[in-house]
Amino acid sequence: MPARRTTVRDVVVIGGGLAGLTAARSLGSRDVLVLEADDRLGGRIRSDDRAPYWLNYGAHLFGGPASPVGSLIDSCGIETLPVEGSFTAMAFPRRLVTGGGPTTILRTAPLPLRARIAFVRSGLKILWHSREYQRFTTSLKNRPPSEVNRALHAFMDDRTFAELLGPLPRELDHIYRAIANRAQADPEELSAGAAMSALALVLTKDRALGRNVAGGSGRIIEALAGQLTCSVTTKAEVSSVAADHGGVTVAYVDGDGPQQVRAHHAIVTTPPHVTARLVQGLPKDTAGALRSIQFGPSIVMAMLTRERRPMPWDGLYSAVVPGKSFNMFFNQANVLRSRERSRRAGGSLMVYASGPLGRGLMDRSNADIRDLFLRDLYDIFPELIGLVEEVDLQCWEYATSYAHSGRAALQSALDRDLGRISLAGDYLGAWFADSAVLTGREAAAKVERQLAEHGSRSDRDRQRSTESWAGDP
């Protein structure tokens, strides 16, 4: 068959989540194709507008203007709102403990004396180490992202959260398990450093994640996608990414069947276990490291409510929920309350079961999970009965990665230079959406450097490939 004339893209970006879209936007002047398997962009950032509220299913807390996501959000002209409500509430059946942080919990939580004593002992340890974590992260400011990732993963990586806490009475074990499950693992699996990172977010005054997007986080994705000048194809599932001397061949399946595209570079932003399968010829240690990244699931239930009066959750943003079918409760509408002259009717809530708790529910039907979550929610907040008017569930099998003890040893294999293929995605770092943005930007900058350096050769390749390579759509 005679070779069909075809073009060679500068870059193919695989995955249209935050990392992929950030990379594509940074490569604005290049010929880029984004391939996304799903029928929507955004990956684990998803919300549905229900003005004046929104339903949220994924990421919802972001840093201020100095943070990677914060600066991205600002550059897109999106409004963020500071979270004014409590982050440290704890919901026991028929008792909501909120207001003043760990000391209030200690004073008012329904815990027996031995659990209170253990709470003080473990609480002091946590406060000390989470402040140490905070100081450590401050000392890393202005260092290159890859160095920061390595340093953060090495922080208290030699022991688990359970080892740090020591033996606990049952009532306290429930609480710490719910907290660790928020970071996707049981205390026996989670590294002590990862637990400190999660706890520092709520315990330290200078909160790294303290802003919510007015109208829902999906607005970040809409704005990013709206600014892209490149081609974007959804419902395009990539099955292989193979580099050779002259470029990269990406095979995928879209609505028209199997396709192939050729490019000078590829940026792969898929979850690590998918990346290990897609990228051909990976060094053994890199493939092994990708497969060793641990993820936990989250089953998220987003709700719109129709109350016409103030509610007990108005002043809080999040609550840990020990011993129930879900471990976290969020009041998305909290960010609107401080701006209202009088409380607007209605609201938006979100609960989720994450880590081992979520995994235990994965086989249940959506209707079952909804009933279970609502029953437990009504147990904590009887005022909510009859007020839930819309419910939607989102099951994330791979919600967020967590650092197990020993995770730091994987980083050098993940940071390895793979030539024409670059990896990006939150799992490479320790700061969730911030890591997605940072690694997306870093991958784009590396590709940009390579394209600039080999520009003339690339142009020759492009010319040669245009004449001889068949298969580009």
Ligand X SMILES: Cc1cc2nc3c(=O)[nH]c(=O)nc-3n(C[C@H](O)[C@H](O)[C@H](O)COP(=O)(O)OP(=O)(O)OC[C@H]3O[C@@H](n4cnc5c(N)ncnc54)[C@H](O)[C@@H]3O)c2cc1C
Q: Applying CB under 6 A, which residues contact ligand X?
A: 14-20, 35-38, 43-45, 58-62, 209, 237-238, 269-271, 274, 298, 300, 352, 396, 399-400, 425-426, 432-434, 436
In single-letter form, the type of residue at position 56 comes to: N
> Is the Cβ of residue 335 or residue 399 nearer to ligand X in the bound state?
399
- The nearest distance, CB 262 to ligand X, in angstroms, is 17
- The nearest distance, CB 113 to ligand X, in angstroms, is 36
SS3 234: coil
Residue 214 tokens read as 């007015």
> Is the Cβ of residue 270 or residue 331 nearer to ligand X in the bound state?
270
Q: Do residues 92 and 109 lie in contact, with contact meaning Cβ atoms separated by under 8 Å? A: yes
> Is the Cβ of residue 279 or residue 380 nearer to ligand X in the bound state?
279
> Is the Cβ of residue 16 or residue 355 nearer to ligand X in the bound state?
16
- The nearest distance, CB 383 to ligand X, in angstroms, is 25
- The nearest distance, CB 172 to ligand X, in angstroms, is 25
> Is the Cβ of residue 14 or residue 179 nearer to ligand X in the bound state?
14
E strands present in 369-408: 388-402
Q: Which helix (H) or strand (E) holds 263?
A: strand 257-268
In single-letter form, the type of residue at position 126 comes to: I
Q: Do residues 93 and 153 lie in contact, with contact meaning Cβ atoms separated by under 8 Å? A: no
- For the chain, how big is the Rg over CA atoms in Å? 23
- The nearest distance, CB 85 to ligand X, in angstroms, is 15
- The nearest distance, CB 288 to ligand X, in angstroms, is 20
Q: C-alpha angle with apex 264: 261 to 269, nearest 5 degrees?
A: 75
> Is the Cβ of residue 111 or residue 209 nearer to ligand X in the bound state?
209
- The nearest distance, CB 193 to ligand X, in angstroms, is 18
E strands present in 289-414: 294-305, 318-320, 328-331, 347-354, 388-402
> Is the Cβ of residue 44 or residue 129 nearer to ligand X in the bound state?
44
E strands present in 321-432: 328-331, 347-354, 388-402, 421-423
109: Cα separation from own chain's centroid: 31
- The nearest distance, CB 29 to ligand X, in angstroms, is 22
In single-letter form, the type of residue at position 398 comes to: Y
- The nearest distance, CB 301 to ligand X, in angstroms, is 11
> Is the Cβ of residue 10 or residue 36 nearer to ligand X in the bound state?
36
The length of the chain is 473
| 215-251 exposure pattern, b = at least 16 Cβ within 10 A, e = fewer | bbbbbbbbbbbeebebebbeebbbeebbbeebbbbbb
Helix axes 218-227, 18-26, angle to 10 degrees: 30
> Is the Cβ of residue 380 or residue 437 nearer to ligand X in the bound state?
437
Cα 64 to Cα 84: distance, rounded to the nearest angstrom: 14
Burial class for 170, CB neighbours closer than 10 Å (0-12, 13-18, 19+): exposed
